[in-house]
Amino acid sequence: MTALAALSLASAGVLYLGTVGSSRPASLGEALVMGMSDWLVWPALIPAVVWLSREFPIGRSRWASGFLVHLMASTVVALTAIAVTLGICAMGGLPYRSSALWEVKLSAIGEWFHFGFLVYWVIVAGVHAVEYHRGLRYREVEAAEIQTQLARAQLQALRMQLHPHFLFNTLHTVATYVRDRRADEAVDMIANLGDLLRTSLERGERQEVSLQEEVDFVQRYLEIERVRFSDRMRVEVRIPPETRAARVPAMILQPLVENAVRHGVAPSPSAGLIEISAWRQAGMLRLRVRDDGPGFGVLDESRPGSQVGLRNTVLRLERLYGDGERLHMENHQDGGAVVTVTIPWHTEPLSAAPGGEGG
């Protein structure tokens, strides 16, 4: 409104100066009324122009029809602006008070038509720019939502692959005990398996849990494995209290521990060691699973099952936390294999990770 008022005053000044020296010079009041009429008509026309711009966009698919509509509309609007302006002046009685003012006004009708025509197209261009930016933002948000949904579906699919992989291995062991008439071990393993599956179902679709929850889950899994190996498996858990609240991917440790049990403990005739540790370092959480078996590179060709868990673990880490060396495998200097997982330290559910979701 401030800009319209300034333009109205400028128009009034031009009209007044145009009548100076004539036989019937206009008063400042008359010049102000006629000058204001030029600009106050546009606030009433702008909503119509905006509506036309949105209803008939000049896009790639129908640019010709949209252009023709706006070409005709801009002509009509420009003429309407002139007609309404002259009507306002006529209703104010200006024709009878200052003929010189009308002479100046009528001599500039051609210029005012071009001006109205230009204003129309400026408004159309502005509306198209706003709508294009709004559509671009909508498409970006929509694409981000689709990408997030896809990442969640991929994460869930990867996670679901771990359940049958682990379940089939356990049921195979139960079947072996049944065939060997080791009923007590089979019953204990089935009971522990039921507890483990119940815990897994209680987690729902959460992609992240606390490290404490993950350690509890792994210890339930190890209870099942203890039935198989009895005193042939030693487990050491080194999780400092200050790290137990950290958020980690659900079932991140289980495939690593299972890999250590199958290829570190199972082949050894003597007692095998499984060591699980965690620590915070430079804003990162490091999880390590170590065994004292033959290590990597010795039984790799006979490890088709282990590759499912390790491969899915790598993919899940990439989906949740982005690219980077999140999982590192190496042989320990004292023998055995070491798998280290590195993820960002955080104690709250992820809200903006690549494809991540809160727990």
Give me 7's structure tokens.
Answer: 């333009």
C-beta separation of 200 from 163 below 8 A: yes
Residues 263 and 305 sit within 8 Å (Cβ to Cβ): no
Amino acid letter, residue 348:
E
Whole-angstrom CA distances from 88 to 8, 38, 68, 277 are 14, 9, 30, 85
Q: How many CA atoms lie within 13 A of 98 on its CB side?
A: 26
| Per-residue model confidence (pLDDT) at position 307 | 60
Using alpha carbons, select from 221, 227, 231 the residue that is nearest to residue 260: 221
pLDDT at position 301 is: 43
- Cα–Cα distance measured from residue 132 to residue 23, given in angstroms and rounded to the nearest whole number: 54
Helix (H, G, I), strand (E, B) or coil at 256: helix
Supply the pTM of this predicted model.
0.53
Backbone phi and psi for residue 238, each to the nearest 5 degrees, phi listed first: -120, 80
> What's the sign of the alpha-carbon dihedral 84, 86, 89, 93?
negative
Domains in the chain, please, with CATH?
Answer: 2-107 (no CATH), 154-344 (3.30.565.10)
Whole-angstrom distance, CA of residue 143 vs CA of residue 219: 41
Cα 108 from chain centroid (whole Å)? 55
| Location of structure tokens 């230009």 | 118
The angle formed by the CA atoms of residues 166, 169 and 171, to the nearest 5 degrees, is: 105
The closest alpha carbon to 244, from 202, 214, 200, belongs to 214
The answer to whether 37 and 81 are in contact (CB under 8 A) is no
Which residue type is seen at 155? Answer: L
pLDDT in tens, the chain (359 residues): 555 555 455 554 444 444 444 445 545 555 555 556 666 677 778 888 888 888 888 876 677 778 888 888 888 888 887 777 767 666 655 543 445 555 555 555 666 777 778 888 888 888 888 888 887 787 777 766 766 666 666 556 555 555 566 677 778 778 888 888 888 888 888 888 888 777 777 766 677 889 999 999 888 888 888 877 777 888 999 999 999 999 998 888 988 998 888 888 877 777 788 999 999 999 999 999 999 888 887 544 444 344 666 777 888 788 788 777 789 999 988 888 999 999 999 998 765 444 444 44
Six-digit token pair at 198? 């119940």
Can you tell me the distance from the alpha carbon of 207 to that of 121, in angstroms, rounded to the nearest whole number? 52
Q: Which amino acid is at 37?
A: S
Q: Please report the pLDDT score of residue 309 as a whole number.
A: 67
DSSP secondary structure, 46-72, as one string: HHHHHHHHHHS---SSSHHHHHHHHHH
Task: Give residue 243's pLDDT.
Answer: 94
CA–CA–CA angle 274, 278, 280 (5° rounding): 165
